[in-house]
Amino acid sequence: MGEKVTFAVAAIGALGFGTGVVFFRDAFRAAVSLIGTLLSVALLFIVLLAPFAAAVQVIVYAGAIVVMFLFVIAYLGERGEVTTPDRLDRWQVIGWLGVIGLGAFGAVAVLDSSSAPADAAPATTDVGTPASIGDAFLSDHLLAFEVTSLILLVAAVGAVILARSAVQGAGGR
């Protein structure tokens, strides 16, 4: 029963933070909301007994990629002062309670998963191990893996070109 509640809370957290990514006008807040989304997805992976995928989610996405986003946001600088009052100030307490609650559910899921008796564990195969994931990427899904890397490369080059033209248009170098 606790796993279902944790899964539901993590799913609601992922959807809520994902909505924040889409609707926040401030790029920094959207990036922080993206961190919440990725941590919620990592919690979903933990509940689904995929600790390697959860660790990769936190280290690669919530760590490295969002830090890169934050560097780009800092590099592009402030886009002008917002003159309207912040509509989200009144919801800040609810947001912090959600973050604390999500962290508590994550701690409960991690503690509960390590204390399960060995005979209650489902029969496992090599699904989800680093070796099986690597084999799947380099054999069955090689084309999709390479296409994804090309799409990411094109997106990175496009972001640099757009940022360069925006800076030049604003009178920059």
Tens digits of residue pLDDT in 26-81: 888 888 898 899 999 999 988 888 888 888 888 888 788 888 887 777 777 666 66
DSSP SS3 for 162: helix
Task: Name 79's Cβ contacts closer than 8 Å, sequence gap at least 6.
Answer: none
Indicate whether 156 and 108 sit together in one domain. no
Question: Looking at the 3D structure of the chain, how many domains does it have?
Answer: 2
Q: Are residues 116 and 155 in the same domain?
A: no
Same domain, 31 and 114: yes
Residues 61 and 108 in one domain: yes
Cα(167)–Cα(173) distance, rounded to whole angstroms?
Answer: 7
Question: Any idea what the CATH number is for the domain that residue 113 is in?
Answer: 1.20.120.1200
Residues 15 and 74 in one domain: yes
Tell me the residue range of the domain where 163 lies: 125-173
The whole-model pTM stands at 0.54
**b/e 2-33 (16+ beta carbons within 10 angstroms → b):** eeeebbebbeebbebbbebbeebeeeeebbbb
Render pLDDT for 106-152 as a digit per residue (tens, 0 to 9).
777 777 765 555 555 555 566 667 787 778 778 888 888 788 888 88
Q: How would residue 173 be classed by pLDDT, with cut points 50, 70 and 90?
A: low
> How far does Cα 27 stand from its chain's mean position?
15
Q: Which of 81, 69, 62, 25 is nearest to 163 (CA)?
A: 69
- Co-location of 92 and 160 in the same domain: no
117 and 129 in a common domain: no
